C-alpha cells in the first residue's frame, strides 16, 4: 500500500491524526520533528535559536532522504514548513501518498495560543502571523497533496477514518 505522509499547518493535528491512523492500520508511525530532535539532542526551538531556521530546514531534508530509503510502509507526520520546499516535495512523492490536513486560522489560534514550542509563531500579533502564513502556504500544501481533509471541529478518530476511506479511493 505504501507510506502515507501528512502535511499541513502547525496545529492542524498531523501528529495526533497520524498516530491514530497508524495505530488503526497497525503500521509504524514517524514524526519528522521528533526524528530531528532526537538526532540533534535539542528541541526544534533550540535548533532555531542556536543554529537558525536554515539549518533546521536542511535537517528536515536529510530526515526525508533517510525515510525514503526505509523500506517498510509507515505513516509520517511532517513539520508545517517541510512540504514548502521543492526538493522536499519530490522526496515526499517518492515516499508515498500525501494527505493535507487543512485548518482554519481560528482553530490554529485556539490550539496554539500560549504554546512556546513554535518559534515561527512567537511574538507580535500571532493571529495575523497565522493568517498570513496560511495564505502563503495553503495553496502549496494543496498543490503537493494527493488529497486534503478539513480538520476544524472534528474528532481525531473521525478524521483518521476519513483518511483511510479517501486513501482507499485513490487506488
- Compare residues 19 and 118 and give the one whose CB is closer to ligand S3P: 118
Nearest distance, CB of residue 80 and ligand S3P, angstroms:
3
From candidates 18, 80, 96, 105, binder to ligand S3P by CB under 6 A:
80
- Compare residues 25 and 121 and give the one whose CB is closer to ligand S3P: 121
Do the Cβ atoms of 32 and 77 come closer than 8 Å? yes
Encoded one letter per residue, x for contact with ligand S3P by CB under 6 A and - for no contact, window 34-53 reads ----------x---------
Do the Cβ atoms of 143 and 4 come closer than 8 Å? no
Closest listed residue to residue 64, CA positions, set 41, 39, 45: 39
HSE (side-chain half, CA atoms, 13 Å) at 87 = 9
For the segment 122-161, give every residue that binds ligand S3P (CB under 6 A).
Answer: none
Q: Is 162 in the site for ligand S3P (CB under 6 A)?
A: no
Whole-number Å distance between alpha carbons of 42 and 50: 10
From candidates 4, 6, 10, 63, binder to ligand S3P by CB under 6 A:
10
The single residue listed with the C-alpha cell 488529497 is 147
- Compare residues 1 and 120 and give the one whose CB is closer to ligand S3P: 120
Q: Is 101 in the site for ligand S3P (CB under 6 A)?
A: no
- Compare residues 33 and 162 and give the one whose CB is closer to ligand S3P: 33
DSSP code for 119: G
Q: Is 120 in the site for ligand S3P (CB under 6 A)?
A: yes
- Compare residues 83 and 171 and give the one whose CB is closer to ligand S3P: 83
Beta strand 96-102 with 147-150 is: parallel
SS3 content of the chain, % helix, strand, coil (to 5): 60, 15, 25
Q: Is 33 in the site for ligand S3P (CB under 6 A)?
A: yes
Q: How much is the CA Rg of the chain, to the nearest whole Å?
A: 15
Binding residues for ligand S3P (CB under 6 A): 10, 14, 33, 44, 79-81, 118-120
Amino acid at each position: 500500500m505504501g507510506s502515507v505522509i501528512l502535511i499541513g499547518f502547525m496545529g492542524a493535528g498531523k501528529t495526533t491524526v497520524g498516530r491514530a491512523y497508524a495505530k488503526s492500520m497497525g503500521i509504524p508511525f514517524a514524526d519528522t520533528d521528533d526524528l530531528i530532535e532526537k538526532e540533534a539532542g535539542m528541541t526544534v526551538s533550540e535548533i532555531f535559536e542556536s543554529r537558525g531556521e536554515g539549518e533546521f530546514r536542511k535537517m528536515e531534508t536529510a530526515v526525508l532522504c533517510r525515510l525514503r530509503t526505509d523500506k517498510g510502509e509507515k505513516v509520517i507526520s511532517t513539520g508545517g514548513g517541510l512540504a514548502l520546499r521543492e526538493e522536499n516535495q519530490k522526496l515526499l512523492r517518492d515516499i508515498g501518498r500525501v494527505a493535507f490536513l487543512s485548518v482554519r486560522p481560528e482553530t490554529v489560534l485556539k490550539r496554539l495560543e500560549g504554546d512556546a514550542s513554535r518559534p515561527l509563531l512567537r511574538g507580535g500579533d500571532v493571529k495575523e502571523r497565522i493568517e498570513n502564513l496560511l495564505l502563503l502556504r495553503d495553496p502549496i500544501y494543496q498543490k503537493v497533496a494527493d488529497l486534503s481533509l478539513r480538520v476544524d471541529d472534528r474528532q481525531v478518530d473521525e478524521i483518521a477514518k476519513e483518511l483511510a476511506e479517501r486513501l482507499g479511493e485513490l487506488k
